[in-house]
Structure 1
Amino acid sequence: MARKVYVSGVGMIPFTKPGASAPYHEMGASAGRQALADAGLSYADLQQAYVGYVYGDSTAGQKAVYQIGMTGIPVVNVNNNCSTGSTALFLARQAIASGVADCVLALGFEQMNPGALGSVFKDRPSPFDDFDRETDALVGMPEVPLALRYFGGAGLSHMKKYGTPLETFAKIRAKASRHAANNPLALFRNVISAEDVLNAPVMWPGVMTRLMACPPTCGAAAAVLVSEDFAKARGLNTKVHIAAQAMTTDFCSTFEAHDMMQLVGYDMAKAAAQQVYQEAGIGPEDLDVVELHDCFAHNELITYEALGLCPEGGAQKFVDEGGNTYGGKVVTNPSGGLLSKGHPLGATGLAQCYELTHQLRGSAEQRQVEGARTALQHNLGLGGACVVTLYQSA
């Protein structure tokens, strides 16, 4: 049987705009030190480290952790697009659950450039070639940046299928701003209305405005995971444990369904969530708080349905009734999410872990979801990978 895994310590630095941050290794080291201090441990206690980033040279993970300590432990560099941070978390949890290690660091950071995401290596086939061909066939719009076409196209698919109005996406972005106003680590803390979102510069007429997309961001976050025996021997915090976790990659339906929602990972998210619910013996109705991958307001909306927070086709009603915020069915992205908190690719999954750990500890201050005991994390990377993690408090 797999061993129980606890989140003993978490750390996160304030997210910033590109050009305003410290270098990647300094950000990573700062978050790592915070997580160790939160756990009451030193670098010498770590037996392994999994370090995630997307834009950087090989062994950048070592460059970051060497600022904290150099003890010869395995350091594994992880790159899984926007799900990189949660992939590092997934590997760290596996190491402990399988008995390979008792104390592991999962660290993620990103030092990003301004502007839309793009390919770095132009002299070889892109991992997105198949995705681009399908997107060209389904929505066209080659003049629109890659990520906008994918997720805007997914939102457009939902609009056509269920009659979802553009205003619903604007309401999701406005909700993110209200939540982020209480998060001192978020990039954007100004509260905006749905009208502000709709009146922002148009990026795709009838489909997306600028405020519906997350900003390029720099930052870092980390978590220290430990086994039950290690925690008991050291007298560590055992308030929060990982009750279930699943990672999925693309299914044939990604391309064969000829649906932009499938192309951006709807089936990956649905399958991972179902695996987690089954493993934990709960359902979506048992969740108190969720941090999900809202790289665009459109992806937050379709993810509500993929995770079972509302029925398929029921996202507009879920949003209109306030089911996604305080006082509603389940608080989604109390941190402000990627839309307001920011999205430093390698750090995002661990920033979600940071938020949910504090929620379950009862230490999220003004963001606190009252009585939170069960939390779900969803982190998605196109190309593709999806990690869903369920946390519970003692």
Structure 2
Amino acid sequence: MDEALLRGLTPYVLGILVRRGAGFAAAEDAVQDALLEALRVWPDEPPRDPRGWLVTVAWRRFLDARRADTARRAREDRVEEEPAAGPVPDADDTLRLYFLCAHPSLTPSSAVALTLRAVGGLTTRQIARAYLVPEATMAQRISRAKRTVSTVKFDRPGDVATVLRVLYLVFNEGYSGDVDLAAEAIRLTRQLAAAIDHPEVAGLLALMLLHHARRAARTAPDGLLVPLAEQDRGRWDTRAIAEGVAILQGALARDQLGEYQAQAAVAALHADAPTTQETDWVQIVEWYDELVRLTGSPVVRLNRAVAVGEADGPRAGLAALAALDDSLPRHTAAAAYLHERDGDPATAARLYAEAAGKASSLAERDHLTRQAARLNSRG
């Protein structure tokens, strides 16, 4: 059973139903029903035309739902006049679905959930497991999101930046439950890149590939977090790195720099270095300068301060860090690292312990606790 094929066909089938006159919410429900039916039937009776099979079954599910809704009998009669048979057109509505699911009126969490359902073809149960929330909670979130976008015209121009933010949110969720969201985000971004020629789409795809290439080295066999400086670079995926660098170079050549291209450039410099010590930190600082100009993000300024500490020495990094709000996420951890590099293990140990108490994940908390313990044991 090729689940990847099913998920790849999802936006196409959904687009067909919407263009035939189905409302977005009803069409999405019908497509989900068709996907479940395919999972049940296809292993024993694989269709010769998977796309046509899904369109036919989804359309029938939509009409069945309309027939059951007696309060809308008049609309049902009009919808049934639409042709359900005949050849399936080749139009691809994937791009418009991306824009619809990333509508600015949706919260980020709702936009992510709706994108995974409508474009990614994941079930509500899969999405709920990935986000470690009850299925009923995720069902309500998706239902509200569908109601919100149901009044939006399907041909309304969308905002690429919003779509990319949603995909980046999906990627940053990483892996949990039975769905690898990082891999799913890469698949969806590839799909978007095939539908739209935009340097920032390419930049985001490159960024994802370059980060994902280090995944195998990011955790130890016991599940503990391995920081970049200590990773076994022999475990990095060189094929993904080469692809990411090639995509990035093509995007940068268009001279339309955006934040994802700049982030990918930083990731590429890390991927290119044989060791942390041989990393071109001066150039990384320059790319962070570009990111600060593009985004003004305090988090970017924090990362830049750490890079300055590598390029110009820990005291320069601490000076850059001192200009930032100490309530920023990972500010204390960055200060701990720079104080350790500056030869002040006592202050570093105290800050590592403090940072552990603020950590947003168990893996990060354990790593910072171990760093504090390591320095305290030397005293």
Would you tell me which structure has more helix in proportion to its own residues? 2
TM-score using structure 2 length: 0.28
Would you tell me which structure has more strand in proportion to its own residues? 1
TM-score using structure 1 length: 0.28
Instruction: Name which structure has the greater RCO, CA cutoff 8 Å, separation 6+.
Output: 1
